[in-house]
Amino acid sequence: MHKVKSSSKYIDKAKAASAKPALLGEDLDLESYVSSAEEQPYRDDPLQLPVETKEQMMEVGVTLDNMNQRSGTFLQVDNAPIHFSRRQEGLEVMSTSEALEKYQWLVDYYWRAVPVDSDKYTAHVELNQSDGYFIRALPGIKTTYPVQACLYLAKANLAQNVHNIIIAEEGSELHIITGCTTGLREEPGLHIGITEFYIKKGAKITFTMIHRWTPKVAVRPRTGAIVEENGLFMNNYVILKSVRSLQMYPTAWCMGENSTARYNTILIATSGSTIDVGSRVFLRARESKTEIIARAITSGGTITSRGYIEGNCPEVKGHLECRGLILAGEGIIHAIPELRGTVAGVNLSHEAAIGKIAEEEVEYLMSRGLTRAEATATIVRGFLRVDIEGLPSMLSAEIERAVQASEKELM
C-alpha cells in the first residue's frame, strides 16, 4: 500500500480551510464521521468479491464478470484501492498514491482544477491523505472500450475520501464510466470525491458517472476540468435512488481555442432526498463552447438544479437548458440558470421550465392502447431521455439501463 505524498503548501492551505463551510448545501458535521476504515486486501481477481457487492457495482455500470468489455478497471472500497488493471497499451490505470510515487510531475496537477481550500470537504480530503484513481491516456491513444471505476462505501459512519486525477494527453481519447455506490442500508455515511480532469490539446474525455446511494448517505463531490485547445470534455451524470443530501457544482474551464465542455445531468429525487447539483463552465478562449443540459424529476424530494456559464472572451458560445418535472404534490424543483458575459461578442443563452405531465400527452398515448400508468411511464422515460451525441453506444446503454432502474422507484 502506498502513502499519498502531498506538498506542504497544500496541507497549510487545507488546514486554513478545514472549517470553511461550502457555499451551497447543508453544512455537514465532519466530526460525526470516522475517517479511518479497516484495511482492505488487494484483489488480483475482483471476481472474488461477494456476489451482493458485485451486483451493487453492476447497477452503477461497473461490470466485473465481463471485464473484456472494459479497457481498464479501478475499484476502491472505503478508503482503500483494492484492484486496478488495464487491458490496453498506452493507458494507465492505478491508484493516485502509486501514480504520485511513479511520477514526480504529478504533484503539479494536484489541486489545480479543484482548489484545495474550496471548502472543508476539499480540505478534509487533503488532510486525510486520500487515495483514489489515476487514469491517463498517453498521446494519441484512443480507448476501444471504456475504463471503469467504482468507489464503494462499505463502512457505516465513514467519511470516504477520494482524490482522482484523469489526464488525456494530446490527441488521446478516453471514455470512463464511474459508479459510486454503497453497501450501507440504514446507516449514515459520507462520500467526498475530488476529481480533476486535464484534457490536453485535441484530446477528448467522456466521463459518465452513475450514483446509487441510500437514504442516510451524504455526498459531496468536487470536480474540476481544464480543457485545452480543440479539447472536448463531456460529463454525463445520473443519480438513482434516494440520497440524504447531495451537493456538487462541477466546473470546467475552457482555456484553449475551440475547446468544448458538455454536461448532461439526470437528477431523480424520491421523498426524503435533497439534491443540489449544477454545472458550471467558464469560456476563456476564442470559439470555446458549452452546452449544459439538465433533467430533474421529483416524486417528493427537493432538487436545486443550477447552471452557470461565463463567457470571458469574444466568439464563445454557450447554452443552458434545464427542464424539471414534478410528479407528486410535495416535490420541489428550484431551477437557477445563470449567464455572465464579461466582454462583447459572447453568445450565451438559457431556457428553463418546470411542469407536470401534460394530461393531453397521457391521453394521446392512451388512445393508442396504453394504460394510464404505462402512458405516464412512457412520458417520464421520454423526459429523461437525453440523446448524447458522441457517447459510445455501450455507455448510452448503461445510462438508459440506470434510468430505467430508477423509474421503477419513481413510479
Residues 304-333 as x/- pattern, contact with another protein by CB under 8 A: ------------------------------
- Considering the complex, state which of residue 16 and residue 358 has its C-beta at the smaller distance from another protein: 358
- Residue 102 lies near another protein (rule: CB under 8 A): no
- Residue 411 lies near another protein (rule: CB under 8 A): no
Which of the residues 359 through 398 are near another protein (CB under 8 A)? 360-361, 363-372, 375, 378-379, 381-385
- Considering the complex, state which of residue 352 and residue 370 has its C-beta at the smaller distance from another protein: 370
The one segment of 152-160, 208-216, 310-318, 354-362 that binds another protein by CB under 8 A: 354-362
- Considering the complex, state which of residue 225 and residue 296 has its C-beta at the smaller distance from another protein: 296
- Considering the complex, state which of residue 184 and residue 391 has its C-beta at the smaller distance from another protein: 391
In the complex, least distance from residue 367 CB atom to another protein, rounded to whole angstroms: 5
Task: Please name the residue that has the C-alpha cell 476501444.
Answer: 144
The grid coordinates of residue 160 equal: 470516504
Kindly tell me which residue out of 34, 47, 336, 358 binds another protein, with binding defined by CB under 8 A. 358
In the complex, least distance from residue 380 CB atom to another protein, rounded to whole angstroms: 9
- Considering the complex, state which of residue 162 and residue 362 has its C-beta at the smaller distance from another protein: 362
The one segment of 48-56, 172-180, 223-231, 353-361 that binds another protein by CB under 8 A: 353-361
In the complex, least distance from residue 371 CB atom to another protein, rounded to whole angstroms: 5
In the complex, least distance from residue 174 CB atom to another protein, rounded to whole angstroms: 28
- Considering the complex, state which of residue 42 and residue 383 has its C-beta at the smaller distance from another protein: 383
- Considering the complex, state which of residue 156 and residue 366 has its C-beta at the smaller distance from another protein: 366
Site for another protein (CB under 8 A): how many residues? Answer: 21
Binding-site ranges for another protein (CB under 8 A): 358, 360-361, 363-372, 375, 378-379, 381-385
